Structure 1
Amino acid sequence: MENQFYNIRNEKEMYINEQSKIELNGKKQYVSIRAEKENLPLLLYLHGGPGDSALPLVLKYNKELESHFTVVVWEQRGAGKSYYDFKNSEITIDIFLEDIYKLSKLLTERFNQKKLYILGHSWGSVLGLKFIRKHPEMVIKYIGCGQVVNMRKSCKDAYDYALTHADEKTKEKLKKIDCAYVGDDWLKDLLYVTKQVVKYKGSLYGKTNYNSLVTPFLFSKYYSVPDLYKRQKGSLQSIKYLWQELMKVNFENLVKYEVPVIFIEGEHDRHVSSKLVKDYFDTIETDKQFFLFEKSCHFPQWSENKKFNELIIDLCK
């Protein structure tokens, strides 16, 4: 295991900074491991998308977590610094779950720990909930942020939000869109609806665009210009290959988990409905907690990062 990671250690500050590509189920994938000291519990961050890598954002907004956890940010297969062309590949959610299992085993063995914490955002929250059902023995607690519950219902909610806030010209265009996203132009339609949700401040709190989420990538020492290009390609191809399967995701009938489940939601999230998450949370019959961030939409971990970091640290003591 030690040979799969490239170590950068500052002995004076006693931190761990391991940036490397490791092989997970036949594909080299980029993994960042950072901690201010050794022997901290493992926290694995599952980014959104599909394909929306997040390393510079986690480093910028969630660095405080490194004083309490060994923070692992995995750039998922085909995304960001783990980009490769999916052409002629079979890409399914199950493959990502296999990657998480392999990575979790490598991490727990490497750091001599039995289990880890998992933090899943958006698409990553789909992977997270599915993973704890499949491998509860690997996880201490699961934290879902921008949690997906029923993807079809969330898409309908996002579409209705865009339609309600749109001007007349945009409304006419939206009325021609099927938010089930099964037609020939489903990808174009999806991107258009998402753009409207962002424009009308339903995705990033108080913002009409994602510029503030792009800037950290431009100035990250871990992202080269080719990496930025690959990130864009990786995001688009991941949506193309995985969206139809994602639309079938529905956790509503799954109300018992063997792992404590924590949801942290932005009150104003209309990108992936936070109301659906609360309704679902109320039906869960096992160990659970729910937190609502009043000044957030889909990204509470970055819109209210200080509050978010403090909560994660407190929840995982």
Structure 2
Amino acid sequence: MRKKLNKLIFVEEYVYINGIEQFLFHNGTSYDNPVMLYLHGGPGSAESLFTEGFQGKWEDLYTVIHWDQRGAGKTLIKNPHKYPTIDLVLKDLYDIVQYLKKKYNKDKIVLLGHSWGSVLGSTFIKKYPEEVSYYIGVGQVVSMLDNERVGYEKVKELILQKKDIRSQKKLDAIGEYPDEKYSEEWLKKCLKLRKLQEKYKLAASMDLSISLIAFKSPIFKFSDILALMKAFKSNEKLVEFLVNFNLKLQSNEYKIPVFYIMGGNDWQTPYSEAEEYFNKIKAPVKKYYLIPNAGHMTMLDQPDLFFEALKEIAEKQKAAKSI
């Protein structure tokens, strides 16, 4: 265990969940605060290494727990051949929620899902609404295929505006996109499109500044790099689930409060798609936040504006609970 950074709550631990040891990273300033479980993206892209880049102020509002999911990060290194399916990871999540409720003596927890985590989170709250006090979707995925169509058209528009012949040739080489069914070829096309989107700052990229946040993390180990390199192989079944995911085909009724925080420059999970769907959902309480000049890594791109949205949510939900 490394130095606790003078925090009341600073815990790295492996917990035996659903047949394997899974990594949890806890940070907080008060045991009285609500417990927030952060569901990372990918699938396979653990975000526990990036907490120092955005989470400091959050810990005045919540005890924040990062979970390296089955097939990701430190959990993958500990269990290199235990690959996830959607049923396994949902059971993992349910068991972790029970563990956190008991550990912190809470009736419910707050769930925040980022990107792929928003798919997992949305699926979980539909199935187990009684376990969650409210849900926050960031880089919310509504329909993966629709997201890819919109993102493709946006980068195409910018390439034409810039008369970028080299990028145009790369886009043309991708051909028809996206295909309706997941395949190895689908994934290859997606990765090629991401490179073009990264060039035009339409999608998240591991640039030097973001990489430095990870390298400076108090929990960083070089094995974390190995886990990231293995992410695609270990999460193939979840990627297939993600490609076929479409909230529009499900009921738009939610039994708990729902909040979306989206980046105004996010074309990886386009904010326009999330907003259109959000306007149609029915929930006890809901609010949509659009953060200007923020991309897919919304909380890292504009940490202060993101915190203001999070603070408003936390304070209003606390007030509502006390009535």
* TM-score by shorter chain over 0.5: yes
Mapped partners of 2:3, 2:96: distance in 1: 20
**CA offsets 1:47-85 (integer angstroms, 9 cap, x no match):** 000011111212321111112211101111111111156
Task: Give the distance between the partners of 1:181 and 1:211, measured in 2 at CA.
Answer: 34
What aligned pairs does 1:1-317 form with structure 2 within 5 A after superposition? 15-84=8-77, 91-166=84-159, 167-175=167-175, 178-180=178-180, 182-204=182-204, 210-233=207-230, 235-252=231-248, 253-286=250-283, 287-317=285-315
Residue 171 of structure 2 contacts residue 193 of structure 2 at CA under 8 Å; is this kept in 1?
Answer: no
**Aligned-partner residue type, residue 22 of structure 1:** V
Cα distance per residue 1:94-140 (max 9 Å; x no partner): 22111111011111111111011111000000011111111111111
Identify the range of structure 1 (101-110 vs 190-199) with the bigger mean alpha-carbon deviation.
190-199
Change (3 A) 1:26 1:8: farther
Q: Provide the rounded CA distance (Å) in 1 between the counterparts of 2:7 and 2:210.
A: 30
Q: State the Cα distance separating 1:257 from its structure 2 match.
A: 0.4
Identity %: 29
Name the count of aligned residue pairs.
305
Normalized per residue, the structure richer in helix is 2
CA shift digits 1:16-43 (9 cap, x unpaired) = 1110111110111110011123222101
Q: 1:165 to 1:239 in 2, by over 3 A?
A: farther
Which amino acid is the alignment partner of residue 306 of structure 1? D
Counterpart of 2:319 in structure 1 is none
Contact residue 7 and residue 27 of structure 2 kept, 8 A: no
2:232 partner SS: helix
Name which of structure 1's ranges 100-109 and 155-164 shifts more when overlaid on structure 2. Answer: 155-164
- Structure 2 gaps of 5+ residues are 160-166, 316-323
Residues 147, 272 of structure 1: 8 Å contact kept? yes
Distance 2:184 2:263 in 1: 33
Change (3 A) 1:147 1:8: same
Amino acid of the structure 1 residue aligned with 2:203: S
Cα distance in 2, alignment partners of residues 8 and 18 from structure 1:
10
Q: Report the Cα distance in structure 1 between the residues aligned to 2:184 and 2:313, rounded to whole angstroms.
A: 45
AA at the equivalent of 2:229? Q
Q: Closer, same or farther in 2 for the Cα pair 1:202/1:265, shift >3 Å?
A: same
Q: Is the 8 A contact 2:40 2:47 kept in 1?
A: yes
- Name the SS of the counterpart of 1:51 in structure 2: coil
| 1:175–1:311 Cα change, 3 Å | same
Distance 1:209 1:219 in 2: 14
Deviation at 1:177, TM superposition (A): 5.2
Does the residue aligned with 1:48 lie in a helix, a strand or coil? coil
Please give the secondary structure, in 1, of the residue aligned with 2:135.
Answer: strand
Cα distance in 2 for residues equivalent to 1:304 and 1:184: 35
- 1:264-313 CA-to-partner distances (Å, cap 9, x unmatched) read 11112110111111110111122211011111121211111111123212
RMSD: 2.2
Aligned to 1:169, what secondary structure does the other structure show? Answer: helix
How big is the shift at 1:14? Answer: 6.1
Report the Cα offset of residue 182 of structure 1.
3.5
**Which segment is superposed worse, 303-312 or 90-99?**
90-99
Query: Normalising by the residue count of structure 2, what TM-score does the alignment of the two structures yield?
Result: 0.87
For 1:284, give the aligned amino acid.
Answer: I
Return the alpha-carbon distance in structure 1 between the equivalents of residues 224 and 40 of structure 2.
17
Give the Cα separation in 2 of the matches to 1:8 and 1:113: 27
The AA in structure 1 aligned to 2:115 is S
Structure-1 separation of matches of 2:268 and 2:306: 19
Indicate if the aligned counterparts of 2:143 and 2:246 stay in contact, CA closer than 8 A: yes
Contact 1:269 1:297 in 2 (8 A): yes
Tell me the SS of whatever aligns to 1:143: strand
Distance in 2 (alpha carbons) for counterparts of 1:159 and 1:61: 29
Q: Is the 8 A contact 1:15 1:35 kept in 2?
A: yes
Q: Which moved more, 1:114-123 or 1:37-46?
A: 37-46
Amino acid in the other structure paired with 2:301:
S
